[in-house]
Amino acid sequence: MLVEHQIQLHSLQCWRLGMIISELITNSYRHAFGDNGGTICVELKRRGNIAECRVTDDGSSSDIVRSGHGLSIVRQLAGALGGNIDLQFGQDGAVAVLSFPMPMQTLDGQAATCSSSR
């Protein structure tokens, strides 16, 4: 499920955001769900001059959550955005909240639109 709120970002921000979301969805698929499947929700919205991306799932993992290469890459990409990511894992699912500053203006005066419909 995608909850969409249209926001304007630099193209590099969109690229990094896409890589982060892809890795978080992949982690949910690999680690949170058994044969019964589950739900992954991605929400991107603006909070003042901060962009917030929330990726949640309703899965549960019996494995102890370890910070592997994927989460290390996610943290590095979040840092490259000038932001941070909060990761929480539990029996009722996982929540990842990425927050990073919105651009004041782009180098060419244009910003890319990152959004999709629900």
The residue ranges of every structural domain in the chain are 2-107
With contact defined as beta carbons under 8 Å apart, do 6 and 115 qualify? yes
Give the helix ranges, DSSP H, for 1-118: 11-31, 69-80
Q: Give 106's pLDDT tier (boundaries 50, 70, 90).
A: very low
Q: Three-class SS of residue 39?
A: coil
The larger pLDDT score, comparing residue 96 to residue 69, is at 96
Q: In 10-25, which positions are buried (b, 16+ CB within 10 angstroms) versus exposed (e)? A: beebbebbeebbebbe
Q: Please give the class, per CATH, of domain 2-107.
A: alpha beta
The larger pLDDT score, comparing residue 91 to residue 94, is at 94
C-alpha to C-alpha distances, 97 to 36, 61, 69, 87, nearest whole angstrom? 25, 19, 18, 7
